[in-house]
Chains A and B, each alone.
Chain A
Amino acid sequence: MVVNSVHWFRKGLRLHDNPALQEALDGADTVRCVYVLDPWFAGSANVGFNRWRFLLESLEDLDNSLRRLNSRLFVVRGQPTDVFPRLFKEWNVTRLTFEYDSEPYGKERDSAIIKMARNFGVETRVRNSHTLYKLERIIELNNNSPPLSFKRFQALIQRLELPKRPLQTVTVEQMDSCPTPVAANHDELYSVPSLEELGFKTTDQGQAVWKGGETEALQRLHRHVSKEWVGNYWKPHINVCTLMASPSGLSPYLRFGCLSCRTLYYRLRELYMKAYQHTPPPLTLFTQLLWREFFYTAATHNPAFDRMTGNPICMQIPWDKNPEALAKWAEGRTGFPWIDAIMTQLRQEGWIHHLARHAVACFLTRGDLWISWESGMKVFEEMLLDADWSVNAGSWMWLSCSSFFQQFFHCYCPVGFARRIDPSGHYIRKYIPKLKDYPDRYIHEPWKAPESVQRGCNCVVGVDYPMPMVNHAETSRLNIERMKQVYQQFSHYKGLSLLEVVPVIREQTESSVPKSSMSHPSCNDGMVSSLCLSLSHRKRERPIDLHCSQGCSQPKMQCVGLDRDSNRPLQQ
């Protein structure tokens, strides 16, 4: 029987470590690599210029790589549900492969396509490679509910074997065994569209700071081989340089799958072991990758993960609706140079450092403006290259103290925090050139500069640069109170704790005893109510930290106790 494969690229825009693509090639007679894109949708979708540019560059790069393997990429215009029936018939397709998508929207889309394929007699093969682990395994291990604290998540990961090793990249021999039929009018029908074709004006856009594509991703990965880089990846020192886009930054490449997370994982591991006399690396080396994994796990069964209402893990907080204030924040007109510089960098380049994300997210939500995290999430979705649905929503919930249990006594100060990281205002001067002549002393709070100084710098606050939109001291006082109100409802705590904590959910403590695997029903729906219950008897204690058994432990302790006990060869 003839096997005509189609591999459907969505994320995972790469040829290395691409198990679903390998499935497409496996014993096939022909193979076509497809990307489905709706140009009509492009203008209206909540995705900004930089993200489209990055995507198109990645597709361009993929097409080039496929050319070198005597193949091509087919960028098909339309919606998947319209496109595939046509392609199935036209190309006489017998096998469809794609990477597993864990997000609720993606799962729904994929199950429709799988059903459709079945009706056409097309076999589908789906493989996991966007995350290190199969998320369902982690959930299963946690008594069938996603872990809701990072500590708990780490503890579960400790109990898993290492992630699967990355697969080799696709070779020319492989491709030659299942050639791609390329028509003479391929470029006319299936070329990668230009930004103009999608309706973007490219004239006033600067050079891309982040160049999309697998080639660039692998270059970045291999550029840094030093011990210092590993050390820095592991425990980054924060200073003004870290705020700038780094030539070794990888997060956008992970988001689009130009780089496999498993390839990165093993690369880090290898470098670490080389640098530290073959010691197996601690889990903390992979913290960044694990955060990503954590949010994917938390979101996979929760279609309302990106909303407050109807989202069982999200606290209902009485956020203000204030479109005007939101616009000031999004457009970098808050009057706080630090916040405005970050939002400008985000708009121009599509990436900001995680501490910068914390700063602007805190400012928008619980810190100053008291505006819903959902609004902030949407702005990030438009502009942030590495914004993935799960990770973006999850991080916003985290930073706005809407879920995932953390204390909320502390808000980032838009002046003090900036001064710590960037004392001379280098970062601010770069992104807000209007303020470049301000003396260091006033660069973080220009409204305090005497008028003569303001005139001397050619930037008068209130005229050339906005006055601060809020009094931070006053609003942070109000907002701390608001937050306490929200949580006191749940805790019935009448006392004076200043260290109020986002409360814990009962399943956390219960499931911290490993393998009490009496089939707990999925806690997802009853979460808020169990939250109330658990609070009625445990008022203000710290969540898992106080109660967890050795199940929740960090690497160091893990080496000492748990790992040997459990007899599991985590560290080879």
Chain B
Amino acid sequence: MKRTKRGDEEQEGVGGGGGGGGGGGSPDPGPSEQRKRLRGEDSEDDAQPNQTKDQDVDAEGDERVPNWGHLPQEILLQIFQYLPLLDRAYASQVCRSWNQAFHMPELWRCFEFELNQPASSYLKATHPDLIKQIIKRHSNHLQYVSFKVDSSTESAEAACDILSQLVNCSLKTLGLISTARPSFMELPKSHFISALTVVFVNSKSLSSLKIDDTPVDDPSLKVLVANNSDTLKLLKMSSCPHVSPAGILCVADQCHGLRELALNYHLLSDELLLALSSEKHVHLEHLRIDVVSENPGQQFHTIKKSSWDAMVRHSPKFNLVMYFFLYEDEFEPFFREEIPVTHLYFGRSVSKDVLGRVGLHCPRLVELVVCANGLRPLDEELIRIAERCKHLTAIGLGECEVSCSAFVEFVKMCGRRLSQLSIMEEVLVPDHKYELDEIHWEVSKHLGRVWFPDMMPTW
């Protein structure tokens, strides 16, 4: 009996105090639906919470038992921070004080908009009512915002729509993330740019910006620089075809606090490296370069060794991460001279010759992934890499071939510093010294831990 009564009270409580928070605060259809669910949860939960509730009712007037409605806001805030949004929305309907807590600015600093269409995604989207609510009540609280957008143009449009309404806020972090296909690229460029520049102009203290695979262009970067040059620390813009080397150079020239940068190789220039290693500039931490061939047979420019040297002098600890997605015949200009690369990923087939050059010219190499190679074993190349790349700690080999004894030798030379060793089983070719069954034992010995090659199901 008591329980039903309690339920009714709750319902009244929401009606009175819920206000705007009730309906719009959660991505679910309507308040009545939620109330039902809230009560449903009550009765379904195991004994513990029910008991507390009942005690709560019994104890009205008994001061020893805390009244949950009187929890100090700081404590509520602490608790709410651990709850997912949906649970916070449910909790917000318990009483006035919890509802107020629901709207505390601290809980709205960070938000991830998920924009998916049922026709193109399996995942749930942020409910439009919630989006409206956030823009109305919390846009000035937002600081760390990301948009996850599925493959549909509508979703990318919706993201731009939201962006262009973020006029009151001062974002620190903005990430535009295409989860399936680069759907921002399908938008009219002007539409995208005008939405993005709203944030650039209004925020003034952006420190991290991730805009890979978008139609951002040089003029919009100028706007970024004009408003955020003192604060910008991280800029990720891989595969932004409308940016030119001059556009990125302008960013590097003005934003002296830039520590992380990701871009495609065609934007990389000697000038850019020199700008990043100028005295005014802070030490760079990460530089990620994607080397992608846009059209077969493309000629790639080279970067002078002196420019790389300047970088290393200025930022001795910086990571240079390079992802290569090239055809074998396009590697000609690469690894001819020493390059301070630390992380190397070869996404397509790469020749023995190139890997041989890697061994000669990459003394700072830490991680190496070779997804595919021709039909000849990589024995000497690996051994040379073990010999010359003294910092190598991780290696992954996909469709390659290495003889078992060369592989064991490689592991022996690198020893325990190899913390990550992902080798597909098919890579290892048995020879006179080792059978496949024996190799994991031998390798484990040198690594000082149990190791196995990666297996794929035979089915």
Binding site for B on A (CB under 8 A): 150-151, 235, 238, 251, 282, 284, 287-288, 291-292, 295, 308-309, 316, 318-322, 354, 357-358, 370, 372, 386, 391, 394-395, 398-399, 406-407, 409-413, 416-417, 420, 448, 473-474, 476-478, 480-482, 485, 496-499, 501, 540-542, 545-546, 548, 550, 552-557, 560
Residues of B within 8 A of A409 (CB): 345, 369, 371, 396, 398, 422
Find out whether the CB atom of B181 lies under 8 angstroms from the CB atom of A370: yes
**Cβ proximity bits B417-459 to A, threshold 8 Å, 1 near / 0 not:** 0011110101000000000111011001000011110111111
Which residue of the partner chain, among A151, A284, A357, A556, contacts B441 with CB atoms under 8 Å? Answer: A556
A473 B345 Cβ-Cβ under 8 A: no
State whether B394 touches A497 (Cβ < 8 A). yes
Given A498-B394, A545-B450, A554-B452, A320:B180 Cβ within 8 A: yes
Query: A474 vs B181: C-alpha distance in the bound complex, in angstroms?
Result: 11
CB within 8 A of B398: which of A251, A410, A478?
A410
Interface set, chain B 190-222, CB cutoff 8 A to A: 212-213
B182 contacts the other chain (CB 8 A): yes
Cα–Cα, bound, A398→B426 (Å): 17
Bound-state Cα–Cα, A151 to B457, Å: 12
Which listed segment binds A: B9-17, B100-108, B248-256, B286-294?
Answer: B286-294
B144 located at the interface, meaning its Cβ lies under 8 Å from any Cβ of chain A in the complex:
no
Q: B325 near A: Cβ within 8 Å?
A: yes
**Contact (Cβ within 8 A) B121 A321:** yes
User: Known: A409-B369, A420-B399. Is A322-B458 also a contact (CB below 8 A)?
Assistant: no
Contact of A407 among B179, B372, B454 (CB under 8 A): B454
Decide: A448 and B296 in contact? CB cutoff 8 A.
yes
Query: Contact at A499–B422, with CB atoms within 8 Å?
Result: yes
Which of A481, A499, A554 meets B437, CB within 8 Å? A554
Contacts of A498 in B (CB 8 A): 321, 343-345, 367, 369, 394, 396
Taking a contact as CB atoms closer than 8 A, the residue among A318, A398, A476, A550 that contacts B347 in the complex is A476
Q: Which residues of A contact B424 (CB under 8 A)?
A: 410
Known: A318-B179, A411-B371, A545-B450. A282 touches B345 (CB 8 A): no
Q: What is B's interface to A at a CB cutoff of 8 Å?
A: 116, 119-123, 148, 150-151, 177, 179-182, 212-213, 238-239, 286, 288, 290, 292-293, 296, 319, 321, 323, 325-327, 342-345, 347-349, 367, 369, 371-372, 375, 394-396, 398-399, 419-422, 424, 426, 436-438, 440-441, 444, 449-452, 454-459
| Prevailing SS type, chain B contact patch | mixed
Q: For residue A36, give the distance in angstroms from its CB to the closest CB of chain B.
A: 28
Also in contact, A319 and B212, with CB within 8 A (given A497-B367, A499-B396): no
Q: Which of B325, B375, B454 contacts A420 (CB 8 A)?
A: B375
Chain A residues, Cβ within 8 Å of B371: 409-411, 413
A496 near B437: Cβ-Cβ < 8 Å = no
Task: Say which residue of B120, B319, B321, B458 sits within 8 Å of A320 (CB atoms).
Answer: B120
Contacts of B395 in A (CB 8 A): 499
Pair B450/A546 contact, Cβ less than 8 Å: yes
Contact A318 B452 (CB under 8 A): no
Question: CA–CA, A496 to B441, complex, Å?
Answer: 29
Query: A320 to B121, Cβ gap below 8 A?
Result: yes
Complex CA distance for A464 and B442, rounded to whole angstroms: 53
Given contacts A318-B121, A417-B399, contact A282 B437 (CB under 8 A): yes
When distances are taken between beta carbons in the complex, the residues of chain A under 8 Å from B180 are: 318-320, 370, 482
With A476-B325, A476-B347, A497-B367 known as contacts, the answer to whether A552 contacts B450 (CB < 8 A) is yes
Bound-complex Cα distance A150 to B459 (A)? 13
Chain B residue, CB-CB nearest to A323:
B119
Which residues does chain A contribute within 8 Å of B457, judged by CB atoms?
150, 291, 295, 354, 394-395, 398-399
Chain B proximity of A481: nearest CB distance (Å): 7
Assuming the contacts A482-B179, A545-B452, A557-B440, asked whether A497 and B121 have C-beta atoms less than 8 A apart, the reply is no
Q: A553 and B150: CB pair below 8 A?
A: no
Query: Cα distance A118–B180 when bound, in Å?
Result: 52
